[in-house]
Amino acid sequence: MTREVTGASAEPHQHPWGWYPVAFSREVTSGKVISRKFAESEIVIYRTETGRAHIVSPYCPHLGAHMGGARVDRELLVCPFHAFAFAPDGRCVRTGYGTPPPRGAQLTSTPVRERNGFIFAWHHQNGSPPSWEVEPFDFSGCGRGAVWSRTFQGNQIDFLENTADIGHFSTLHHVQATLVGTPRMDGHRYATDIDLSGFYRSELVTHAHVEVFGLGYVTVRFDMPKLGISAIEFAGLTPEGGGAMTLRRITHGRLAGTRLPRAAAWARRPASDLLGFALKVAGNSQVTADVRMWSRRVVTETPKLAQGDGPIAPARRWAQRFYQEQEA
């Protein structure tokens, strides 16, 4: 049977629980307020004077003004209509008239984490609090991240399946891929290792260590020992609504085994910056090819798998946990 679904056997637009990147950190500077679509709804993201990012519901409980037009006053978010001010936990703490705030006037706050260049929002079908954390990465020796994003019609399982689908590397990307060992599935984390020949250059073997956290966040560590360089890429696939998704990527370069003369040590950081940008550009065509496929396919509920596909079936079984109300 073939039908379009949002997961291995989920109903349309039932979004799996987990952490999702909803913005790049650099997009939300101190005092800035932005609005985003997220999981069939809308959220407002802002950063206070102390540098903390917060996420709240989009409409003022007073008379319904959209908080995307609000301003930040130190640690408060101030409504653009009647200047009602809200604390980071969503409570209304003052009105624009100097009168006591109405009882029960509150914005709904969303759990938020800021890690690895992203602002993450937590989503759970029944409102349960976060059950796992986004791991921070050690950026020692890394250059500034190069960012890229694209919005398209897709499916939340695309990220995971793209990792498990070893066969598509040769047919779509013209890259020879070899699975190293067996994928590890532990709670909210799916990890696998892949050797890629020709991913960046035809004669270059790249080792990729891939970790998928939930169904919305992926980290890939690329090692190219022949060149003495490595890279880390963070990527998020975030549901907006009606099947629309935004894919966000951040690529950091690292001169892993490259020794520079002491007089040239100053060049390591700008060289790493340039490397990250170059690797992002080199990977754009590969990612664009994936997006082209994702945006025009349906997910077959019972696919007729063949030898050479890779571990798609166990990956899909693992994905089911994120459509359940409780963590398996």
State what percent of residues in the chain have pLDDT above 70: 89
Residues of the chain with CATH 2.102.10.10: 18-123
> What's the count of helices (H) and strands (E) in the chain, helices before strands?
4, 17
153-160: average pLDDT: 94
B/e letters for 316-325, b = 16+ CB within 10 Å, e = fewer, are bebbebbbee
296-312 tens-digit pLDDT: 999 988 999 999 999 99
Question: For residue 256, what pLDDT is reported?
Answer: 61
Question: For residue 11, what pLDDT is reported?
Answer: 45
Q: Is the pLDDT of residue 16 over 80?
A: yes
Higher pLDDT, 99 or 265: 99
User: Selecting from 3.90.640.10, 3.40.50.920, 2.40.50.140, 2.102.10.10, what CATH number does the domain 18-123 have?
Assistant: 2.102.10.10
State what percent of residues in the chain have pLDDT above 90: 76
Instruction: Give how far Cα 166 sits from Cα of 41, 67, 229, 233, 237, Å.
Output: 34, 45, 24, 19, 20
Query: CB–CB of 252/139 below 8 Å?
Result: yes
Query: CB–CB of 33/39 below 8 Å?
Result: no
Give CA–CA dist 17/328, Å, rounded.
12
**What's this model's pTM, rounded to 2 decimal places?**
0.91
The verdict on domain 146-323 having CATH code 3.30.10.20 is no
Taking alpha carbons only, the member of 192, 159, 156 closest to residue 177 is: 192
Give CA–CA dist 158/181, Å, rounded.
22
Provide the mean pLDDT of the chain. Answer: 90
Amino acid at 107: L
Residues of the chain with CATH 3.90.380.10: 146-323
210-238: average pLDDT: 94
17-71 tens-digit pLDDT: 999 999 999 999 999 999 999 999 999 999 999 999 999 999 999 999 999 999 9
Q: Is the pLDDT of residue 185 over 60?
A: yes
pLDDT band at 257 (very low <50, low <70, confident <90, very high): low
Question: For residue 204, what pLDDT is reported?
Answer: 76
β-sheet bridge partners, residue 244: 153, 241
Residue 73 CB-density burial (10 A; 0-12 exposed, 13-18 middle, 19+ buried): middle
Q: Flag the least confident range among 90-94, 136-140, 162-166.
A: 136-140
Q: Flag the least confident range among 36-45, 112-121, 253-262.
A: 253-262
